[in-house]
Amino acid sequence: MIDSAHFPLILLLDLLVIALATAWVLRHPREPRAMLAWILAFVVMPFIGVALFLLIGEPRLRRLRKRRRRRRERMEMVGHGVGRAAAPRLRASQARVARLIGNVAKHYPQDSHRVRIHLDGRQAFDDLEQALRGARDHIHLEFYLFRGDRTGRRIAEILIERARAGVACRLLTDFIGSMSLAGGLFPRLRRAGVEVVHFMPIIPWRGRWRMNFRNHRKIVVVDGCIAFTGSQNVGDEYAGLDRELGVWRDTQLEIEGPMVQELQEIFLEDWHYASGRELIGERYFPPPAAPAGDAVLQLVPSGPDLSVRVVQLMFHALFASAETEIAIATPYFIPDDALLLALQSAVYRGVRVRLLIPSRTDQRFSLWAARSYYAELVAAGVEIYEYPHGMLHSKVVVIDGGWAAVGSANMDERSFRLNFEVSLLVYAQDLGETLHHEFERLCAASDAFDRAASKRWSARQRFMLGLARLGGPLL
């Protein structure tokens, strides 16, 4: 029981905490609904509300960008930095998107790439293993999730062997995504000489920590000459070995050419932030020996350390640039109002819009959140398909059947606001057509959703729709 003599003091302290926390929120404007929600939390439960705000309330991570500018300047000095030579090769609609990304993310279209698209998990890991075994100087890996299962041990054995051969091996994983999944694998890697660092632990004394910001990127760079990126993590399910979910479909890009240096730059920046150790040297940015191919690519990094929501802007720009078709494959579809309007607007302009998501998923609540948007999308003319034959984990948008965005970002609030993500814009007709053909094939094997299907939902299912819609932005 509270001593009545102390009650005025406690009440005064409560009011002071509420006033200070509310003043901070008002001095840092954001979405009105979020501001009101936090102020209400301060009033109802002052100390708990403030504690939660300190853990998860800050919508932006303030980390310095000077290291990126220094590294970019050094890369340009040695003559193989970021350029804009590929811009004249782009169509008008592509050039508008490229200009937007260049203005907000400071990454520009790059020419002369060889790109292999991996749609089969087992083949993707086979090719990754081959590249890792061929490493002579360094291996850099950055994953949200790295399991200690058969597939994780397979990659770990290669890292151990290469580290003992004198290759510098570094593994950066997200703390939430991997810490509880790897078992004793990480200590074993460290004993063998592999550097293992976790991004943003939730334990304050384990390094720079934040509860709500996660590193969702997937990047591998070998000797600064070959890179892999896309939606594939390291685990048995990504290799198609999960019996419950069946075949796991991802889209992974294997890249040679100038884009390898930009992906290396992203890794080194994240490594420095997580470990406090900066890696500088020509060994990490070797000049390309010769043009690897003719594909044009543009890097799209995004995260809460940027003042704009780059990945969300990218999706809006892609939808606005479409002339005939938008094909979207995503495992988690929880759009905000602006994204819904962008898709509806595209349909009303005469653009065919198709959405493909999995009905067999590792997150059932997210599936019901996505389904809560079906009726209004179908009413506008969007075609929706659910893939029932396995987990569709690819994050791909194909525009007009000939160019695309591929990466780690889902179409949800977490990817837009809180996660560190990396995507690639692929301005290459042959690669775009390959991705479009795969989309067509999966749609043909999927179940189409129509208005009649929504009428067959039971009362319990409609309750789940409403509950998932309400909780969707928190997923």
pLDDT in tens, 86-107: 666 799 999 999 999 999 999 9
- Amino acid letter, 463: F
Task: Give the pLDDT score at 473.
Answer: 56
Task: Give the pLDDT score at 83.
Answer: 42
Of 107, 216, 272, 436, the active-site residue reads 216
- Residue 290's nearest CA partner among 257, 265, 262, 261 is 257
φ/ψ of residue 383, rounded to 5:
-90, 130
Residue with tokens 């309007």: 341
pLDDT tens digits for range 404-450: 999 999 999 889 988 999 999 999 999 999 999 999 999 999 999 88
Cα–Cα dist 410/407, whole Å: 9
Of 223, 242, 336, 412, the active-site residue reads 223
- Residue 295's nearest CA partner among 435, 155, 201, 176 is 435
Task: Give the pLDDT score at 114.
Answer: 95
pLDDT tens digits for range 279-326: 988 999 998 777 778 999 999 999 988 888 999 999 999 999 999 999
Cα–Cα dist 98/83, whole Å: 13
430 given a catalytic annotation: no
Residue 259 Cα distances to 28, 55, 144, 310, 341, angstroms: 36, 35, 21, 18, 33
pLDDT of 228 strictly over 60 = yes
Of 118, 140, 395, 436, the active-site residue reads 395
106 given a catalytic annotation: no
216 given a catalytic annotation: yes
pLDDT tens digits for range 64-83: 454 455 555 544 443 344 44
Helix (H) or strand (E) holding 150: helix 150-164
Of 140, 272, 393, 436, the active-site residue reads 393
φ/ψ of residue 267, rounded to 5:
-60, -45
Task: Give the pLDDT score at 84.
Answer: 46
459: which 2 tokens? Answer: 């009362």
- 178, burial (CB in 10 Å: exposed 0-12, middle 13-18, buried 19+): buried
Task: Give the pLDDT score at 299.
Answer: 97
Of 107, 118, 140, 218, the active-site residue reads 218
Strands 403-407 and 396-399: antiparallel
223 given a catalytic annotation: yes
- Residue 75's nearest CA partner among 281, 243, 269 is 281
pLDDT of 211 strictly over 60 = yes
Residue with tokens 């998923």: 361
Task: Give the pLDDT score at 219.
Answer: 98
Task: Give the pLDDT score at 43.
Answer: 73
Task: Give the pLDDT score at 78.
Answer: 39
Q: Name residues whose C-beta falls within 8 Å of residue 151's C-beta, 6 or more positions apart in sequence.
A: 125, 234, 235, 236, 238, 239, 241
Cα–Cα dist 367/389, whole Å: 15
For helices 364-371 and 459-471, what crossing angle results, to 10°?
Answer: 100
400 given a catalytic annotation: yes
Task: Give the pLDDT score at 68.
Answer: 52
Of 272, 400, 412, 436, the active-site residue reads 400
